[in-house]
Amino acid sequence: MTFDVITIFPNFFDSPLKEGVLGRAIKKGLINVRIINLRDFTKDRHRTTDDRPYGGGPGMVMIPGPLKEAITHAKKDDKDATVILLSPRGKVFDHEIARRLSKKEHLILICGRYEGVDERIVKAFVDMELSIGDFVLSGGEPAALVVVDAVSRLVPGVLGKEESAREDSFATGLLEYPHYTRPKSFMGMDVPDVLLSGDHKKIERWRRKEALRITLERRPELLKRAKLSREDKAFLEELERKDK
């Protein structure tokens, strides 16, 4: 799978793409991340990528010419590549979007800057606008890295164990259950007995209930979309009765 990232700060990605899961996936050839310096597609000696907005107002806007050239360059070998603009007005990125994008072969990510990009680029080239949350970043580079990381985890072979991706928070529609490791006792707190029992059915049931409990406490809106069994629903009703 190939990611092309269009940015005016190519060095931003140097370290993150060499470390951890992403670094290993790139070394193995499971994913390919190409960083495209937008300034390489400018025509003036100052390598200008922005200008004042028509109609006045604060800030600057990314000019369309270099972006058009950079996108065309990225698509030269794949006209069907999906072009994504990282933008605060985009749809909020979530696990379901990451899952759909992981089925693609080629994503082109545009890192927005300043007040945004010229709207004509959006209309002519962009297939999807994505935001990573309701807050303001200095630019789209951190957001692009989030998308690359989240999508790459779902590409077959990237994680050491495929079940890791299937059991992650949001993959099941719920937040993840608590985890424990050695030692059995730490600061007066013990590992729950069920996890030491060796009874895998009991452990699975405990983990499911803990995931339901944590999701109800912290992100109850997720339960509306989660696939819940009759047992799940009964357990949630029991928890809600206790809270009243």
- CATH number, domain containing residue 146: 3.40.1280.10
Q: Which domain holds residue 192?
A: 185-243
Does the annotation count 115 as an active-site position? yes
Query: Is 173 within the bounds of a domain?
Result: no
Query: Between the CA of residue 27 and those of 36, 52, 119, 178, 209, what are the distances in Å?
Result: 19, 42, 37, 32, 39
Query: Is 127 within the bounds of a domain?
Result: yes
- Choose, from 115, 129, 176, 232, the residue flagged as catalytic: 115
Take residue 25 and report the two structure tokens written for it: 């996936």
Query: Is 17 within the bounds of a domain?
Result: yes
- Choose, from 94, 149, 168, 232, the residue flagged as catalytic: 168
Q: Are residues 195 and 114 in the same domain?
A: no
Q: Are residues 65 and 145 in the same domain?
A: yes
Query: Between the CA of residue 178 and those of 22, 30, 144, 203, 230, what are the distances in Å?
Result: 25, 30, 29, 12, 23
Say what the pLDDT of residue 163 is.
57
Q: Are residues 101 and 206 in the same domain?
A: no
pLDDT 10s digit of each residue in the chain, 244 long? 999 999 999 999 999 999 999 999 999 999 999 999 999 999 999 999 999 999 999 999 999 999 999 999 999 989 999 999 999 999 999 999 999 999 999 999 999 998 899 999 999 999 999 999 999 899 999 999 999 999 999 999 999 766 566 666 677 889 999 999 999 999 999 999 999 999 999 999 999 999 999 999 999 999 999 999 999 999 999 999 988 7
Domain of 203, CATH number, reads: 1.10.1270.20
Q: Are residues 132 and 16 in the same domain?
A: yes
Q: Are residues 196 and 110 in the same domain?
A: no
Q: How many domains does the chain have?
A: 2
Say what the pLDDT of residue 171 is.
72
Whose tokens are 């927005």? That residue is 112
Q: Are residues 87 and 39 in the same domain?
A: yes
Does the annotation count 66 as an active-site position? no
Query: Is 144 within the bounds of a domain?
Result: yes
Whole-number Å distance between alpha carbons of 4 and 39: 15
Query: Is 159 within the bounds of a domain?
Result: no
Q: Please tell me whether the overall predicted TM-score, pTM, comes out greater than 0.85 for this model.
A: yes
Does the annotation count 142 as an active-site position? no
Q: Are residues 31 and 122 in the same domain?
A: yes
Residue 33 CB neighbour total at 10 angstroms:
21
Say what the pLDDT of residue 243 is.
83
Say what the pLDDT of residue 24 is.
96
